[in-house]
Structure 1
């Protein structure tokens, strides 16, 4: 919850401060994020979504010169959060967005093991992405998942950690609004089969037109990379491979576009 308040805070005016160096490492190094279990979030909306997603915020940094009308700015009322004011030159060193809002937080990561995934209904709709690489594509997939209110997003063999600042930025904070599970291809296939979820793999061969498929039951829609598609392991374990017919010269679309088409066809079939 957010409310209008001014908080007493300490001021950091040197970029050589150890805490500032820690923020820079968390921003730039995946290894540091994994080691500490912490990551960086920038922006008012994103920080609000962090709290709505029940993440734990450790520290909020703000720059009054950038954060407009700070005396009436909405700041979390959580008493366990440390608030630190930054000089503008220091804040600009740790900000990673081109158009910054003057507020940034250190947040604790969540456990994204498959055992943590819980479904609220008997016929969940799940988006699975195998080996996604580009932060922009991952962000777009998460935005699609949020827009369709899917029950979970599962990422197989990820090439980038989910708390990469570029993924958070491109997802517009949808990293925090989706239930996300991470595992190997084999682990996720076993998880889906154990849960009785039908596997529909986007593929070019031995495939059925997606509009002729029944996505009304528990469904996982699986997409691969644009360059190589899905591995044979997925295709061999699918209940059905599906294709989106194309009328142009090329035979593939951006992975996030393909995922959106399939996910919203499933939503249409379910009456949403």
Structure 2
């Protein structure tokens, strides 16, 4: 007999709501919620462990839901929930009636291992808005970057809004987090050139050579890069603009810089 949950007062449902709403709970329990078939599928592809599946039978069948489990691990528990409970827990009305609980990964930069000898890395410093983080992760996935480093993140990486705005690309990228000092140390130890997106002492981005091990660093739209990063860049770079303002959305700017580097590496024929 399948596990059925019909009450909002069920302890599992209360716990799911806490995972959804509270970063401290996600950090303490080292797990998080994933919503939607595509996102769960990408998490499995990214080797995340799914411990629980919650599905709404009026939207998705048990057979469909049960395919979204770890094929190597039969310990995934599957629960049937009512439409009312699903609607309370879901962020989006367009998802396919399924939620999952997954185990968080250790994203500490001190545990990170590069797999490429000539990496291209995106670094974003002190990002605040989950939407911007999600957009940056989508751009990194599109460019198939070797890693995304997040310095001094202002939110935990398993915030549901980051998962949603990244359309699951949080699971397809190799991500590491740490302090600005930790990330600078890592890049220098690996002999990676650091190109900071900044106006100070900068050169036009398309004049630089990104064919060697490279990190492209972007800051916030409001304050840009910290003085610590600016003091440790190999070269600051800028995007020439012809309008009235001197900045653009951070994910747009990162996309321009990243794909110039990919072009130089013959990504675009």
Range into which the TM-score falls when normalised by the shorter chain? over 0.9
Confirm or deny: 8 A CA contact 2:37 2:95 kept in the other structure.
Answer: no
Question: Does the residue aligned with 2:231 lie in a helix, a strand or coil?
Answer: helix
Instruction: Measure the CA separation in 2 of the matches of 1:210 and 1:90.
Output: 50
Q: Is residue 41–residue 68 contact of structure 2 (8 Å, CA) maintained in 1?
A: no
Counterparts of 1:37-186 in structure 2, within 5 Å, are 37-67=30-60, 69-71=61-63, 74-76=67-69, 77=71, 78-186=73-181
Cα deviation per residue 1:127-164 (whole Å; 9 max; x = unaligned)? Answer: 00000011110000000000001001000000111100
Note the C-alpha offset of 1:116: 2.8
Task: Indicate the SS of the match to 1:75.
Answer: coil
Classify the secondary structure of the residue corresponding to 2:68: strand
Work out the CA distance in 2 between the residues paired with 1:72 and 1:111.
30
Q: Give the match for residue 226 of structure 1.
A: 221
Q: Deviations over 1:19-50 (max 9, x none)?
A: 00000000000010011001000000100111
Q: CA 1:244 to 1:72, structure 2 compared with 1: closer, same or farther past 3 Å?
A: closer
The question of whether the paired residues in 2 share the 8 Å contact of 1:117 and 1:152 is answered with no
1:255 aligns with 2:241: no
Per-residue deviation, 1:98: 3.1
The aligned counterpart of 1:3 is none
> 1:79: how far off?
1.1
Query: Residues of 1 paired with 2:84 and 2:213: CA distance?
Result: 52
Cα distance in 2 for residues equivalent to 1:41 and 1:57: 9
Q: For structure 1, which segment, 57-66 or 111-120, has the greater mean C-alpha deviation from structure 2 after superposition?
A: 111-120
1:115 is displaced (CA, Å) by 2.8
Q: Indicate conservation of the 8 Å contact 1:209/1:243, yes or no.
A: yes
**What's the CA shift for 1:186?**
0.6
Q: RMSD between aligned alpha carbons?
A: 1.2
- Count of aligned pairs between the two proteins: 264
Q: SS of the residue aligned with 1:247?
A: coil
**Structure 2 regions of 5+ residues with no counterpart?**
none
* CA distance in structure 2 between the aligned counterparts of 1:64 and 1:75, rounded to whole angstroms: 15
What is the rounded CA distance, in whole Å, between the counterparts of 1:71 and 1:146 in structure 2? 30
**Residue pair 1:13, 1:86 contacting (<8 A) in 2 also:** yes
- CA shift at 1:185, angstroms? 0.4
Distance 2:155 2:63 in 1: 38
Matched-pair contact (CA < 8 Å) for 2:51–2:76: yes
Change (3 A) 1:206 1:56: same
Q: Identify the residue that residue 16 of structure 1 maps to in structure 2.
A: 9
Could you tell me which runs of 5 or more consecutive residues in structure 1 were left unpaired when the two chains were aligned. Answer: 1-7
Q: 1:121, CA displacement in angstroms?
A: 2.1
